[in-house]
Chain A
């Protein structure tokens, strides 16, 4: 029963208010892309044991999407941030790195 801080409306939201929307920061490939690029865009997932950057929607709250960095082994949430960004905030990445020096990092 997770709780995540919704950066849009500012509340600590219960999992029942939220909908998980899968991996974050996936670059869209449209017409003109190769078969491989398109396949990877639609299907290939990092699915890591550890730090996962992911999308959530505060569906039974403000309705807005946001991003979260969460550990899939411990369910620790390192932070949440705007959905309107192509990469996680550097401060967040650095904080995770500091906590888990062995982490391969954001890529």
Chain B
């Protein structure tokens, strides 16, 4: 059983004990522990259940590659599933529960899957659960879903905050081990701006565990001195607890900083996402140890040899009292030596290599440890924990030669460079035959905007495994990065370590090499997803030969560790099954992030009220105080209506319509787009932008205009005012201002760049109020200042002046049919002007109205609305707007498009008014049906409603719609089926689209 040792533990502070709770049990650890080391220290070897078979799972690794030891952590608004214990720093009061079991970790009903595992091989669900047809959704799938899924579902909204940082640097170094530090030192010496990020809370990586000397001093001292030196340099930024999570195009990198995961609730943001732009990135991301594939290699207590060593040295925790070491390389001997030195038993080192004579092996022998050469593990004994191993010949089929009692197994299948970040953005790999791993191919790096490589690797991430080689490689990478980022060439010698003599590792993909199918069905490749050697072999046999097919068919490498332990072993097994070399099989694609990063961090501060910017008119606060019900329009929020406390929205809208038609209404029209088009060629330009002839509009006059896309479709409309000889002011829809502005700029900058025209978007410079209704003139005259009489300011004219002391531009235009003035004042005066209008208007029955009343009033008048009568497929001719299309112009945007055969088809649906026979309202979106069905069996349709409202003015339903041959069918009745479920069809008569004040008498006063 694992336990806390009396000594060792360079990272823990035994004077600072910390209490935590796991599955309801109170446990004790120390400051500096990870949750994993604390669990092991407390004797908890069983920590979870696997995904598919619900097999018992223990801690296997000591870092981000851990596939098993994931827990539900925290409670309430700080609950988080799938938290990796090996990367979770312990804090006092930590609360965790294990995952994926019922009713308990020790007794899990789901383990029944394990007993029938033989009948649940890779891909079994593709071959069954097909009959009866409904059973998949109703029976099988719910079972699959319930038994999958790992962590629990959070119930509450996250209570923590997150933020973004931006950082520009010449050189980014990912990884703060000795390679990263050596590279940083070299890069910083070039004068370049350097940032070093390390995902753990400690500098130095694995080196302090393995020891050795650098530049003549102990490695740990060198690390300390180097960090101190870097800290004192102005051009260096060092960050701990920050992972280089992803590398993207053109030198973009994501830094995921876990600011307060270990100090929850201290007021700091929990995570910080760094958006980094670097000229050069050095990946000093180290290497990950590979497991060995032997039967029972997933039983809790079987761990990576390097991790076993880490737990002793870093945290003073032993994985077991008697640990069998099994390996194919020298490095695992270090683990044996560390265990021995800590007073623990190592009954045997099982080495697959036939004869082992390296210095490390000699040291182990000298320490009294037995080395069994040419041997492998035939089988691990145990269930929820290891009780022993059977030894066999590696070259054989697995007959047990000897059984050895133990409570832990430390395995090493060799090391693989962490190539993830190199690969994220297109870096290519080569297979290293000698060391049996993929490493970055320096000749094919990710390319930046200039077509040159922008990523380098340093140390074991390059494939250098001994300390001496690591330092040499890292120094060279740091110098190269500094120089490529514009620094000066480095001349200082690389840090030095004594060269080590290693005996070559021997690739071992299956142990023993001739293992039977029964054994191969017990050799785990992917611990979390339960993928075994036999599964990969089955995939190959069934023709899933591409590494991507095998991955997807077996789910190898698709778990939350993304195959950090399983990928190389899996593709080696696949290559063997296909009888092809490993590089021909290749790897699956490495995708960001390196380890999972929180959605909270990705979203940053942009949530709730800050999710998107809110654009506010100068009168916005007034609307809020008045209790307006808002609707989002682009980033604006416009009052839909101003309901009184006892009113429904519909009642409020009707009141607003009637009051405006009978007395006086005010609309905040500030969101309307206002674009100034000015210059000697502005008239010519306006004639291209609008379908109408705008160049002839006299100064002082207004004209309603249409704009089309080059594809002929109506895209925006609004009133244009001629300001002076060379200046026009274009009103656009609220949602269209930015789009139309960009559209104008596009044509001016990219097509007619020799035309002398400027466009300015002054939408937010002006507040605009529509003063509407029979009393409109009265209120303006009361405020006084300029002549707004019918004679001086007739319909479709504008004038500058003052009203009530406000500088104003008054447009005599109407979207309601009433007497109406739209008055623009400087934005800074908007609220004051609005208040003045309300005060002066009180005696005239003033009321503000919202967008819905606006819509109804324009529909009563048969005016079209962009977005209702148009949807991107409508040309002006469909809407009977031919009068607004100039026939005098040779060209305007959209003109050529409107000549195409489908655009001049007489069968196009045309706009008409619709009046229901019974006075009801046609539902929004209803279609008019014709006879029969089309070739696809769909009911034939002959039109649809585009705007449909209850008209409080007329006290009945009114609508506009597009109907095939509509204008030729006046008076005819068409059918609109409803969706009320009873087959009700609403009958509507085709009528003129102007329902109210056809002769225009109301506005012409």
Q: Contact residues of A with B, CB < 8 Å?
A: 1-4, 14, 21, 28-33, 35, 38, 42, 55, 57, 59, 63-65, 71, 74-78, 83-84, 99
Known interface pairs A65-B745, A83-B750. Does A30 touch B896 (Cβ–Cβ under 8 Å)? Answer: yes
Whether B451 pairs with A38 at a CB distance below 8 angstroms is no
Closest to A85 in B: B753
Q: Within 8 Å CB of A32, what residues of B? A: 896
Q: Which one of B449, B890, B896 lies within 8 Å of A2 (CB-CB)? A: B449
Known interface pairs A30-B891, A57-B742, A59-B742. Does A4 touch B896 (Cβ–Cβ under 8 Å)? Answer: no
Q: Within 8 Å CB of A57, what residues of B? A: 742, 745-746
Taken together as a complex, chains A and B put the C-alpha atoms of A63 and B758 apart, in Å, by 13
Taken together as a complex, chains A and B put the C-alpha atoms of A56 and B250 apart, in Å, by 17
Known interface pairs A74-B447, A76-B447. Does A64 touch B749 (Cβ–Cβ under 8 Å)? Answer: yes
Q: Which one of B448, B449, B753, B895 lies within 8 Å of A4 (CB-CB)? A: B449
Known interface pairs A1-B248, A59-B742. Does A83 touch B749 (Cβ–Cβ under 8 Å)? Answer: yes
Taken together as a complex, chains A and B put the C-alpha atoms of A63 and B731 apart, in Å, by 21
Q: Within 8 Å CB of B426, what residues of A? A: 74
Q: Within 8 Å CB of B899, what residues of A? A: 31
CB distance from B520 to the nearest CB of A (A): 41
What are 11 A-B interface contacts by the 8 Å CB criterion? A1-B252, A2-B449, A3-B277, A21-B746, A31-B895, A31-B896, A35-B900, A38-B900, A65-B749, A74-B426, A74-B447
Taken together as a complex, chains A and B put the C-alpha atoms of A99 and B277 apart, in Å, by 26
Q: Within 8 Å CB of B711, what residues of A? A: 42
Closest to A82 in B: B753
Q: Nearest 8 pairs between A and B by C-beta?
A: A1-B252, A76-B451, A84-B753, A65-B749, A1-B248, A3-B250, A77-B449, A30-B891
Q: Within 8 Å CB of B433, what residues of A? A: none
Known interface pairs A3-B277, A74-B451. Does A33 touch B896 (Cβ–Cβ under 8 Å)? Answer: yes
Taken together as a complex, chains A and B put the C-alpha atoms of A63 and B248 apart, in Å, by 26
Whether A65 pairs with B449 at a CB distance below 8 angstroms is no
Whether B449 pairs with A30 at a CB distance below 8 angstroms is no
Whether B753 pairs with A83 at a CB distance below 8 angstroms is yes
CB distance from B502 to the nearest CB of A (A): 38
Known interface pairs A1-B249, A30-B895, A65-B746. Does A14 touch B277 (Cβ–Cβ under 8 Å)? Answer: yes
CB distance from B710 to the nearest CB of A (A): 6
Taken together as a complex, chains A and B put the C-alpha atoms of A21 and B743 apart, in Å, by 11
Interface residue total, chain B, C-beta cutoff 8 A: 28
In the complex, B577 has a CB within 8 A of chain A: no
Whether A31 pairs with B890 at a CB distance below 8 angstroms is yes
Taken together as a complex, chains A and B put the C-alpha atoms of A84 and B745 apart, in Å, by 12
In B429-486, which residues have CB < 8 Å from any A CB? 447-451
Whether B710 pairs with A42 at a CB distance below 8 angstroms is yes
Q: Within 8 Å CB of B250, what residues of A? A: 1-3, 75
Taken together as a complex, chains A and B put the C-alpha atoms of A75 and B152 apart, in Å, by 41
Known interface pairs A3-B277, A31-B895. Does A76 touch B745 (Cβ–Cβ under 8 Å)? Answer: no
CB distance from B634 to the nearest CB of A (A): 16
Other than A3-B250, A71-B451, give 17 A-B pairs with Cβ distance below 8 A.
Answer: A1-B249, A14-B277, A21-B746, A28-B710, A31-B895, A31-B896, A31-B899, A35-B900, A42-B711, A57-B745, A59-B742, A75-B447, A76-B447, A76-B448, A76-B451, A77-B450, A83-B750
Whether A84 pairs with B447 at a CB distance below 8 angstroms is no
Taken together as a complex, chains A and B put the C-alpha atoms of A77 and B447 apart, in Å, by 10
In B893-913, which residues have CB < 8 Å from any A CB? 895-897, 899-900
Q: Within 8 Å CB of B251, what residues of A? A: 3
CB distance from A79 to the nearest CB of B (A): 10
Closest to B248 in A: A1
In the complex, B751 has a CB within 8 A of chain A: yes
Taken together as a complex, chains A and B put the C-alpha atoms of A46 and B900 apart, in Å, by 23
Q: Within 8 Å CB of A77, what residues of B? A: 449-450
Q: Within 8 Å CB of A1, what residues of B? A: 248-250, 252
CB distance from A103 to the nearest CB of B (A): 13
Taken together as a complex, chains A and B put the C-alpha atoms of A21 and B891 apart, in Å, by 23
CB distance from A57 to the nearest CB of B (A): 7
CB distance from B84 to the nearest CB of A (A): 27
Q: Within 8 Å CB of A64, what residues of B? A: 749
Q: Within 8 Å CB of A21, what residues of B? A: 746
Counting chain A CB atoms within 10 Å of each CB, the highest count among B277, B745, B750, B895 belongs to B750
Q: Within 8 Å CB of B890, what residues of A? A: 31
Taken together as a complex, chains A and B put the C-alpha atoms of A3 and B451 apart, in Å, by 12
CB distance from B47 to the nearest CB of A (A): 38
Closest to B889 in A: A31
CB distance from A2 to the nearest CB of B (A): 5
Taken together as a complex, chains A and B put the C-alpha atoms of A64 and B750 apart, in Å, by 10
Q: Which one of A28, A29, A31, A63 lies within 8 Å of B745 (CB-CB)? A: A63
Counting chain A CB atoms within 10 Å of each CB, the highest count among B447, B449, B899 belongs to B449
- Encoded as 1 (CB less than 8 Å from any A CB) or 0, chain B from 710 to 746 comes to 1100000000000000000000000000000010011
Q: Within 8 Å CB of B252, what residues of A? A: 1
Whether B891 pairs with A31 at a CB distance below 8 angstroms is yes
Taken together as a complex, chains A and B put the C-alpha atoms of A21 and B447 apart, in Å, by 24
Counting chain B CB atoms within 10 Å of each CB, the highest count among A31, A77, A99 belongs to A31
Q: Within 8 Å CB of A65, what residues of B? A: 745-746, 749-750
